[in-house]
Amino acid sequence: KEIFRADYQPPNYWVRWVDLAFLVEQDHTLVSARILFKRNRAIMDNTLFLDGQHLSLQRLSIDGDEVAVDDLYLTDRGLLLHDLPDQFELRSEVKIYPAENTALEGLYQSGEFFLTQCEAEGFRRITYYPDRPDVLAPFTVTIVADKTRYPVLLSNGNRLAAGDLSHNRHYCKWVDPHPKPSYLFAMVAGDLAYIEDQFTTANNKQIQLRIFTEQRNIDACDYAMQSLKNAMRWDEERFNLVYDLDEYNIVVTDDFNMGAMENKGLNIFNSKYVLAKQNTATDQDFIHVEAVIGHEYFHNWTGNRITCRDWFQLSLKEGLTVFRDQEFTSDQQSRAVKRIEDVRHLRSAQFAEDASPMSHPVRPDSYIEINNFYTLTVYEKGAEVVRMYHTLLGETGFQKGMDLYFKRHDGTAVSCDDFRHAMADANQMDLTQFGLWYSQNGTPVVTAESEYDADEACYRLRFEQHPPDSYRGKTAWQPMHIPIKLALYDDTGRPLKLNRQSDTHIVFELTQKQQSLEIENVSGRPTPSLLQGFSAPVRLKQKLTFEDWAFLAQHDQDAFNRWDAAQQLQQNIILAKYRALQDNETHKTPKLFFDSFRQLLLNEKLDKGLVALAITLPTLQSLIVNMDAVDVAVLHRAKEQLVDEINQHLQVEILSVYHQNHTDEPYQVSARQVAQRSLKNRCLWYLVQSGNKEFYHLCHQQHKNADNYTDTITALTLLAHRQAPGYEDLLADYYNQWQEHPLMINKWLSIQATIPAEDTLDRVRQLMELPVFSLKNPNAVRAVLGAFCAGNLTRFHAPDGCGYAFLADQVLALDTINPQIAARMVSLLNDFRQFHPDLRHQMLSQIKRIHAADKLSANVFEIVDRALQSS
C-alpha cells in the first residue's frame, strides 16, 4: 500500500508513559506492556490503531478489564480499538520468537545474544503500539533473563536497579526520562564483554561510557571509545550541545542491516564501524569508525531530542546529522580530502539514483516501504542541502539558526519546513524558494558561459539553470536557489579581487532561470573557478578548454576545484579514447595531460592526500553516470589504455614517489601518515597495472614487511586483481589466519568477488558455498553480491547477461530471508537506463522476472515496480 505525505494526520491518542517488561528465554520472549494513553483533544475520534506484526497476543486489558482476544479486531498489521475513554491504561502480553527472526528488525538474535533494531518500523514486531515517530513517551523497561546465559541486560536511559531472582534469573530496570518515539527503543540481553571510560561534560557531569561486544572482539574497541570521546567534545565545542544522560552504551553486532543505530543512550553498531586495530583495519576503516561513532552520537540532539513528525521528514535528522558528521571528520582529518571523497561519492552514486527510477525528492512524497527511502538522496543530498544553508548564512548565521531550532522544537517531532523556518527566522532571510530543494527531485543542470570585454575591462558570467531530465513533480519545475561559490584567476594564477571589499571569492546566488554576474576592472581574460567546494549539488556545464582545466589543476586555490579540474582532464581523455575505440580509431593523448599529471604527482607543497586523489582516475561508475548507451567492456578498455600510457610516460616518477613515501615510522592513524600511505599505494596501483614482474615483487615485499593492514591488504588486493604469481597462496594463508573473524573474511570475499577475470562469477558461486558465507548475514551479502555487482562492472555487465541472472537468483532467495537487504541488492539493477540496449534489455528482463515472482516483499516489489513503470 502506498502512503502519501499529503495524508498526514496527527494521532488520535498520545502516550503519557510506557512500562515494558521482557522475560527472555532461549526460544521465545514474553513482552508485557503497560501504556497510558491520552486522547488528542484536537481530534474527535475515540478509535485507536495499534501497530503489531508477527506477535502472538496472549492477553489484553483496558483499565484492568480483560478483553477476550477473540473479540478484538485483529489483523496481521495490528489491532483496532474503539469506543475508548479519554484516558486509559492498556496492558498487553505478547509472545515473540527472536531466534526465528531473519529480517533483523524488531527483537532478533545475533550469535548467542538478543538485540533490537526498531527504526523505522521494527517496534511493531515487539509489542502493540502506535509505532509512528510523532508519538513520544518516557519509557521504563525491565528485563528478566537467565543469569548465566544473559548476564548483560541493557535498555535506553539510565540503569535504575538490578538484582537476582529465583531460578537462576536476574533482572535489570532501565529508565529513560526523555520522551522518545518507539523507533528509538532498544534492548539487549546476552553474555557480552565491555570496555569502559568516562567523559566529563562542559557542565561538569561525569558520563559513564561503555562498549559491549562478544568476548573475542574486546581488544578491538579502543579506537571507537576514543572516537566517542572526541565526538562528545566536538559537539560541545562546535555546536554547544552537551550529553543528557548519565551513561552512554554501545553494543556491537555482526548481524546488522545498516551501519548503526542511534537508540537513545544505547547505540547498536554493525561491527564494521566499531572494531579496528592496526593489523585488522585500514586507514579508511579507522576513519569510518570515527565518522559513524560521531554520526550516531550527534543524533542524540539532531534526531532524538528533536525527531521527525513522519517518515517523509527523514532527511530532517539524517541530512543534518550527516552534515554534522562530515564537519566532525573535516575538523579531525583533512578537510580537503573529506570534501573530495564525499562529493565523489555523491556525484557517482547519488546522481545515479537521482537519474534512476528511484529518483525522489529529499523529502519524498510517497512510499510503499519506508526502508527503501534510507537513500543517498535523503542522507547525502540531504546533507548537501544543509551545507547550502551553511554556505548562504556562514558559520555564525548557521549556528544562530541551530539555536533557534533547538529553542523552538526541543522535545518534539517536527518537519523539514520547521528547520528551514528556524534558519530563515534566525537570520531574517527569505528561504521560501530554497524550500524547492526539499520538494523537487532530480539533479538540476547549471550552464555557465563567460564573456570578456577588453575595452570595458569587464568580465561577464551568464548562468542558466535547467530542469533535470528525471524531474517528475506534478507541477512545472521551478528555478531553485543555488549558491555558486566562485573565484577568477589571472594568467599567473593569482585570484582577482571581485568587489569593493576585495574578496577573492564570493557566493553568487542563482535564483532565476537566467542570471548574469559582471565583474569590473578586469585587465585580461581570467580563468573562472566555479562552484568551489561543490557549493551546490548540481551538474555544472561550462565550456572550458583542455588548457583551462590544466591551468586550474595547477593553480586553483580551492582544493576541491583543483582536484575536479584534474578529474575533468582524465574524464575527457578516457571518453575520447572510448569514442575512438568504438569507431576503430586510435586516440593520442595530448602531451599537456602528462605534464599536468606529472606536476601534480611531484608537487611537494600539496597535501599528499589531495595528490593521491588527483592522480586517481575516475571510476567506471562515475563515468557511466554522465553517459548513455554505455558499452562497459569498451569503457573499461579505454580506461586501461590511459593507465598504460601513464605508466609509459611516468613510471620512473611514480616509482620514486612510491619510495619517497614508504616509511619505517611506527604506524599511526594521523592525517599525515594516512595521506602518505594513500599516495604511496596509489603509486603502487599504477606500477602493478603495468604487469611488470619487478613490481609484483615490490608488492610482495610490501605485503610481507608492512606493520599495518592498509599496506598489506592493498598489496594483496593488487596481486589478486592481477592474478599475479603467488596470489592464491596469499589468499589461502589469509583464510587460515582469519577464518574465525567475519569482518576479516568479508574483505577476503570482496577481494575475490572483484577480480576482473572471466571466471570470477564461478569463483563467487564457490565462495558462497563456504561455511564463512551466509545469505542470512548482511555484511557477507554486501561483501560478495554487493562487491561483485557494484565493484566489478565488467563482470557484472558480462555481455551474455549471466551477472544479471545471478543477481536476480540471489535477490529471490534473499527476499524470503531479509527483505531489506534483498531490496538493497535488487537496486543494483536500477541504473539500467545508462547502458547499451543489449545490456539494458537483459537487465530489464531480470527485473521483470523478479516482478513476476510469487509473494514478493513490499520492499523488493516497490523497487522493481518503479523500475518497470519507468522503463
Residues that bind Zn ion (CB under 5 A): 318, 321
| Closest distance to Zn ion from the beta carbon of 318 (Å) | 5
Q: Which stretch binds ligand ARG (CB under 6 A): 252-260, 420-428, 490-498, 562-570?
A: 252-260
| Closest distance to Zn ion from the beta carbon of 681 (Å) | 30
What does the alpha-carbon distance between residue 424 and residue 406 come to, in Å, rounded to a whole number?
14
Contact of residue 260 among ligand ARG, Zn ion, none (CB under 5-8 Å per partner type): ligand ARG
Q: Which stretch binds ligand ARG (CB under 6 A): 53-61, 72-80, 256-264, 468-476?
A: 256-264
Contact of residue 371 among Zn ion, ligand ARG, none (CB under 5-8 Å per partner type): ligand ARG
Helix (H) or strand (E) holding 862: helix 858-869
Per rule CB under 6 A, is residue 262 in the interface with ligand ARG?
yes
Residues with Cβ < 8 Å from 207, sequence gap 6 or more?
198, 199, 200, 201, 232, 243, 245, 246, 247, 248
Contact of residue 245 among ligand ARG, Zn ion, none (CB under 5-8 Å per partner type): none
Per rule CB under 6 A, is residue 371 in the interface with ligand ARG?
yes
Per rule CB under 6 A, is residue 260 in the interface with ligand ARG?
yes
Q: Which one, 328 or 560, has the nearer CB to ligand ARG?
A: 328
Backbone angles phi and psi of 261, in degrees to 5: -140, 135
Contact of residue 301 among ligand ARG, Zn ion, none (CB under 5-8 Å per partner type): none
The one-character DSSP state at 618 is P
Q: Which of 129, 171, 374, 788 binds ligand ARG (CB under 6 A)?
A: 374
Residues with Cβ < 8 Å from 145, sequence gap 6 or more?
22, 23, 24, 25, 153, 169, 170, 171, 189
Q: How many Cβ atoms from other residues are within 10 Å of residue 203's Cβ?
A: 8
Alpha helices by DSSP H, listed for 470-607, are: 546-555, 559-582, 591-602
Q: Which one, 311 or 686, has the nearer CB to ligand ARG?
A: 311
The residue number with the shortest CB distance to ligand ARG is 374
The one-character DSSP state at 835 is B
Total number of residues binding ligand ARG (CB under 6 A)? 12
Contact of residue 700 among Zn ion, ligand ARG, none (CB under 5-8 Å per partner type): none
Contact of residue 631 among ligand ARG, Zn ion, none (CB under 5-8 Å per partner type): none
496 CB-contact burial (10 Å; exposed 0-12 / middle 13-18 / buried 19+): buried
Peptide bond into 202 cis (omega under 30): no
Q: Which one, 287 or 761, has the nearer CB to ligand ARG?
A: 287
* 747-to-683, 730, 752, 784 alpha-carbon distances in Å: 22, 14, 9, 9
- Marked catalytic residue, from 247, 290, 296, 862: 296
Per rule CB under 6 A, is residue 261 in the interface with ligand ARG?
yes
- Helices 727-738 and 709-722 pack at an angle, to 10 degrees, of 140
Q: Which of 119, 283, 353, 607 binds ligand ARG (CB under 6 A)?
A: 119
Task: Look at residues 364, 211, 152, 193 and name the one whose alpha carbon lies nearest to residue 866.
Answer: 364
Q: How many Cβ atoms from other residues are within 10 Å of residue 689's Cβ?
A: 17
Q: Which one, 321 or 792, has the nearer CB to Zn ion?
A: 321
Q: Which one, 260 or 426, has the nearer CB to Zn ion?
A: 260
Q: Which one, 382 or 495, has the nearer CB to ligand ARG?
A: 382
The one-character DSSP state at 378 is I
The grid cell for 721 is 586483481
Q: Which one, 314 or 484, has the nearer CB to ligand ARG?
A: 314
Per rule CB under 6 A, is residue 378 in the interface with ligand ARG?
no
Spatial contact of 837 and 629, defined as CB atoms under 8 Å apart: yes
What does the alpha-carbon distance between residue 572 and residue 263 come to, in Å, rounded to a whole number?
46
Q: Which stretch binds ligand ARG (CB under 6 A): 8-16, 21-29, 168-176, 257-265?
A: 257-265
Per rule CB under 6 A, is residue 258 in the interface with ligand ARG?
yes
Per rule CB under 6 A, is residue 257 in the interface with ligand ARG?
yes
Q: Which one, 101 or 708, has the nearer CB to ligand ARG?
A: 101
788 CB-contact burial (10 Å; exposed 0-12 / middle 13-18 / buried 19+): buried
Spatial contact of 624 and 635, defined as CB atoms under 8 Å apart: yes
The C-alpha cell 498520545 sits at 14
| Closest distance to Zn ion from the beta carbon of 298 (Å) | 8
- For 423: left if phi > 0, alpha if psi spans -120 to 50, otherwise beta; the answer is alpha
Residue 713 Cα to chain centre, angstroms: 23
665 flagged as catalytic: no
Per rule CB under 6 A, is residue 348 in the interface with ligand ARG?
no
Per rule CB under 6 A, is residue 120 in the interface with ligand ARG?
yes
Per rule CB under 6 A, is residue 556 in the interface with ligand ARG?
no
| Closest distance to ligand ARG from the beta carbon of 857 (Å) | 13
| Closest distance to ligand ARG from the beta carbon of 859 (Å) | 10
Q: Which one, 263 or 678, has the nearer CB to ligand ARG?
A: 263
Window 277-336: residues binding ligand ARG (CB under 6 A): 295-296, 318
Catalytic residues: 296
Residues in contact with ligand ARG by CB under 6 A are: 119-120, 257-258, 260-262, 295-296, 318, 371, 374
